[in-house]
Amino acid sequence: MSKWGLWALLARPVRTNAYLATGAALTLVAIAVAILGVIWTPQSPTGVDLLHRSTGPSAVHLLGTDQFGRDVLSRVMAGAWRSVSLGLSAMLLAAAMGVPLALAGAYWRGWVDAVLMRLVDAVLSIPSLVFALLIIVGLGSGHGQAIVALGVAAAPRFVRVVRGAALDAASQDYVVAARARGEGAFYTQYREILPNVWSPIVVEASIFAGFALMGGAALSYLGLGTQPPAADWGVMVREAQRYTFQSWWPLLAPAATISLAIVGFNLLGEGLRDRLHLVDRRADE
Amino acid sequence: MSDSLLSIEGLVVSYKTEGLRRPVLRDISLEIERGEVLGIVGESGSGKSTLLFAIMRYLTSNAVIESGAIRLEGLDLLRASREALGRLHGRRIAMVYQDPAQALNPAMRIGAQIAEVRRYHFGEPEVVAGRRALALLTDVGIEAPDRIATSYPHQLSGGQQQRAMIAMALAGEPALLLMDEPTTALDVVVQARLLELIRELKRRTGVSVLFVSHDINVVDAIADRIGVLYAGDLMELGPAKAVLRRSRNPYTLGLLAGIPRIDQRVRLRAIPGSPGARHDADDTCVFADRCAVAEPLCRATRPPLVEAAGRLSRCHFANDPARFAMLSRSEPLAVNPSSSTASPTSLLLVSGLSVDYGRRGLFRRDVVHAVRDVSFALRRERVLAIVGESGSGKSTLARTLLRLQRKVAGAITFEGQDVFSLTADALRRFRQRVQIVFQNPASSLNPRKTVGELVARPLLLAGVPAERARERAATMLAAVGIDQGMVARRPRELSGGEKQRVAIARAFVTEPALVILDEPTSSLDASVQASILELLDRLKIERRCAYLLITHDLAVVRQAADEVIVMQAGEVRESGPVEAVFSEPRHSYTRSLMSSVQKL
């Protein structure tokens, strides 16, 4: 065993647990805050306090107020739902589109697979945010449109990742056995192959949810996502940047929550990747 | 311990898993003399790989060496520093792995890999080391060493790769070669030549070899002395002849009685149960649970390794040979009833079948003629074996018979109907009447499904109501010896033999007329193989089923088949009744196959 190998072994369990634990904690907090923000905030997110405009943190306004004297903490909480749900919805949409295509390609192979993968390559050669912008151009701006744009733009990533695992599963004898006893394409794809490719799907979904959250914020920041007066974190950053010199809290708070949520989803994905690979390897033995 | 090269004394190794320490090697003591080949035979879970890794100090991080010593030329390997081991590996000890394709560096030319050993251990300049590499390649019987030296591993055949691996191992002029299943991945003809090479190298260089394999026939062909490992315990150790011809150990005898022979049909006797590490056997015999002659004593005291007729045997009754009489090699079995007594109607008729095989993508078309002009007939309730080495087209043939592969020419007729022009209804019926059992049950059983689901599925597909399907699946599982308690388990919780039984149950549950057996026993341990052959033989008679047996193992053909087809490079070389083909092979390829088989 080389020195490096030894270090990797020593570091591995700690790192795996830390990734997974931190990622899961951040993700859970983000989702909890998003749900809480819908039903309760410390102050009204739209309540204007003209006496305290652009103030720093205080006992009443824990994260200060914005240029209209609105409570930043309450606004971050209220905006969380739109940002987090956008990430999760775009992820679900991307998976819902990508997974069936990946399964179909892996099952039929041949020209179905070849055509599909060339399409995927073509789309992947365009940066996803640019591709999402192209879709927005077609659909118009808005929260729902942003979800569709990001989800569609990310579907090829799911196809690529899931197809790899699905090809492996599809080459196993249990798939040949299914065909030999006359199973249909649907049963073979969704009951024989799909249960064996959950791990890459879950990992990719988790990492992509963070990416979509960021993409959603970026679209809102550009004025193409959520439209004011509704606010998500991207809209908040956009509005706050003009008043940065009066108070930087309205800018820092949503920017920091965006970062924390992205880090959370990514760490969760990395942690899951280590953990699920470990489980799969054990299953093989 | 006078002149021994390697001596292992009281080695105990255990693995830590989930806070428990499970012993994998129990008190192993053995010696290897200079110039000797010591063969170690063991099934999965016997600890044979752990033994090799302990010698190389390659054990995984959860392995604990509890006690013992491994001495090479006096140096205690278990206490040697990393630096000392670095000087030793490749120089005094070298290892040859089962899969050379993985052991060789794919990004380095063969010659450079061999030369690297010379440069590292002897400090030879590149030119000298390169010349030495060529000489080594010649030594291991590689023709055109110049060409091979400048090739990359993937450009070599499996046999050439293994020879290159051996040349690399010899480059350090080691005193001891450790060989881990070095012939297992090779075809039988290549295997025979490689064994010949090892014998010759031993003669010429005086190198000692520790040869580990699950294949008793191979070990018998190469070893001077043999150690039999079971569940981490050395069951028997002594001269090869004494151990394999006049064994004094119930486990060795059980293994031998379960191996089919190429020269005659014998009544195989399987060892009941499945092999595997015992974790709780500190004060019993590790084999007691599967032993046919076990006494209460065997479950109360761990037997010592006792001297018996020139070998060591771990059995309380090693010096009481009368006890083993019933275990010794079994009686010959009558040849299968001749064709006239069986039903004469033909079930499957294949004529002039040709199949191309290749990846056909949008921009790709590398087509191989996998099967060329193959014709044969299989009658009801008979067994036809198709024998061939890897790449002979036998698996492609099987897939085509199942209509999973497109044919190029020829016809397949099953129960009087052309398989390739069945109506949807007829095809559904065909799918129930023809089933397949694969080589590797770990791959043929979906790991996410339970045993009950796996066996009931073909019935559900055929429209049997769920309740009835469950009942029939349970009955079928009972018939193959899987008890009710395992129905809710998933494949990974079963042993290899149990998995194959489940796969067989799944094939038989729709009452097929033809079952294609694709290497049904070759992924199984020796002691389990016999029980699966026995089960298949019983099911064939009970369920009046015909088999198409695809295998590379001539002994299995002799044991199980009525007729045989020998295939090479997609073509039929010879066919006929098993007795006739085996006693008087007419084609030169058949003869070379026969002579390559290591006979016990």
Our CA-based measurement puts residue A174 at a distance from the nearest CA of chain B, in whole angstroms, of 4
Task: Return the pLDDT at B277.
Answer: 58
Task: Return the pLDDT at B340.
Answer: 46
Our CA-based measurement puts residue B445 at a distance from the nearest CA of chain A, in whole angstroms, of 5
Question: Across the interface, do A181 and B445 touch by the CB < 8 Å criterion?
Answer: no
For residue B250, the SS3 value is helix
Considering only CB atoms, which chain B residues are within 8 Å of A1? Answer: 58
- Check: CB of residue B262 under 8 Å from CB of residue B555: yes
Place of tokens 């031993």: B202
- CB-based contacts of B401: which residues, under 8 Å, 6+ apart? B348, B350, B412, B419, B434, B516, B548
Contact of B53 with chain A, judged by CB distance below 8 Å, is answered with: no
Considering only CB atoms, which chain A residues are within 8 Å of B405? Answer: none
How many helices (H) and strands (E) chain A has is answered by: 10, 0
With 0-12 CB in 10 A as exposed, 13-18 as middle and 19+ as buried, what is A233? buried
Select the residue of B360, B449, B461 nearest A181 (Cβ to Cβ). Answer: B461
Q: How confident is the model at residue B363 (pLDDT cuts 50, 70, 90)?
A: low
From CA B538, how far away is CA B480, in angstroms rounded? 10
pTM: 0.85
Give B 439-468 residues with CB within 8 A of chain A.
Answer: 439-440, 442-449, 457-458, 461
Task: Return the pLDDT at A2.
Answer: 41
Residues B250-262: what's their mean pLDDT? 89
Select the residue of A113, A115, A173 nearest B440 (Cβ to Cβ). Answer: A173
Q: How confident is the model at residue B189 (pLDDT cuts 50, 70, 90)?
A: confident
Structure tokens given for B571: 């073509």
Task: Return the pLDDT at B337.
Answer: 54
Please give the radius of gyration of chain B, using alpha carbons only, rounded to the nearest integer.
26
Positive or negative torsion for Cα B536, B539, B540, B541: positive
pLDDT tens digits along B371-430: 999 999 999 999 999 998 888 888 889 999 999 988 889 999 999 999 999 999 999 999
Question: Across the interface, do A181 and B438 touch by the CB < 8 Å criterion?
Answer: no
Residues B178-185: what's their mean pLDDT? 88
Structure tokens given for B194: 């490689």
Contact of B438 with chain A, judged by CB distance below 8 Å, is answered with: yes
Neighbours of B378 (CB within 10 A): 22
From CA B9, how far away is CA B29, in angstroms rounded? 4
Question: Across the interface, do B362 and A118 touch by the CB < 8 Å criterion?
Answer: yes
What is the three-state SS of B391-448?
Answer: CCCHHHHHHHHCCCCCCCEEEEEECCEEHHHCCHHHHHHHHHHEEEECCCHHHHCCCC
Select the residue of A9, A114, A180 nearest B404 (Cβ to Cβ). Answer: A180
Q: How confident is the model at residue B600 (pLDDT cuts 50, 70, 90)?
A: low
Select the residue of A115, A174, A196 nearest B362 (Cβ to Cβ). Answer: A115
Question: Across the interface, do B435 and A9 touch by the CB < 8 Å criterion?
Answer: no
Structure tokens given for B50: 């752990």
Our CA-based measurement puts residue A113 at a distance from the nearest CA of chain B, in whole angstroms, of 8
Lowest mean pLDDT among A91-100, B331-340, B523-532: B331-340
From CA A154, how far away is CA B572, in angstroms rounded? 52
Contact of A5 with chain B, judged by CB distance below 8 Å, is answered with: no
Positive or negative torsion for Cα B482, A168, A166, A201: positive
Task: Return the pLDDT at B1.
Answer: 45
Chain A residue with the nearest C-alpha to that of B403: A180
Structure tokens given for B123: 């400090």
Helix (H) or strand (E) holding A273: helix A249-284
Select the residue of B361, B434, B457 nearest A110 (Cβ to Cβ). Answer: B361
Residues B336-365: what's their mean pLDDT? 69
Structure tokens given for A225: 């996502």
Select the residue of B362, B442, B447 nearest A111 (Cβ to Cβ). Answer: B362
Task: Return the pLDDT at B476.
Answer: 96
Chain A residue with the nearest C-alpha to that of B493: A283
Task: Return the pLDDT at A250.
Answer: 86
Question: Across the interface, do B446 and A195 touch by the CB < 8 Å criterion?
Answer: yes
Task: Return the pLDDT at A281.
Answer: 46
Chain A residue with the nearest C-alpha to that of B509: A181
- Check: CB of residue B230 under 8 Å from CB of residue B249: no
Our CA-based measurement puts residue A280 at a distance from the nearest CA of chain B, in whole angstroms, of 10
Task: Return the pLDDT at A261.
Answer: 93
Task: Return the pLDDT at B595.
Answer: 87
Buried b / exposed e along B136-173 (16+ C-beta atoms within 10 A)? bbebbbbeebeebbebebeebebbbbbbbbbbbbbbbe
Structure tokens given for B290: 């599967």
Please give the radius of gyration of chain A, using alpha carbons only, rounded to the nearest integer.
22
Give B380-408+420-596's CATH code, choosing from 3.40.50.300, 3.30.43.10, 3.30.420.40, 3.30.830.10: 3.40.50.300
Q: How confident is the model at residue B115 (pLDDT cuts 50, 70, 90)?
A: very high
Our CA-based measurement puts residue B183 at a distance from the nearest CA of chain A, in whole angstroms, of 22
Lowest mean pLDDT among B37-46, B140-149, B184-193, B379-388: B184-193
From CA B263, how far away is CA B330, in angstroms rounded? 14
From CA B399, how far away is CA B396, in angstroms rounded? 5
User: What average pLDDT does the structure give for chain B?
Assistant: 89
ipTM reported for the complex, 2 dp: 0.82
- Check: CB of residue B140 under 8 Å from CB of residue B164: yes
From CA B180, how far away is CA A184, in angstroms rounded? 43
What separation in angstroms does the CA of A138 have from each of A96, A220, B40?
Answer: 21, 16, 71
Residues B275-303: what's their mean pLDDT? 82
Greater pLDDT, B538 or B281? B538
Q: How far is CA B553 from the centre of its chain?
A: 10
Contact of A4 with chain B, judged by CB distance below 8 Å, is answered with: no
With residues binned 3-state (H G I as helix, E B as strand, rest as coil), the percentages for chain B, rounded to 5, are 40, 25, 35
Select the residue of A9, A177, A284 nearest B436 (Cβ to Cβ). Answer: A177
Average pLDDT for runs of 10 along chain A of length 285: 47 65 90 89 82 80 82 88 91 95 93 92 89 90 90 92 92 92 93 91 90 91 85 88 84 91 91 71 40
Chain A residue with the nearest C-alpha to that of B359: A110
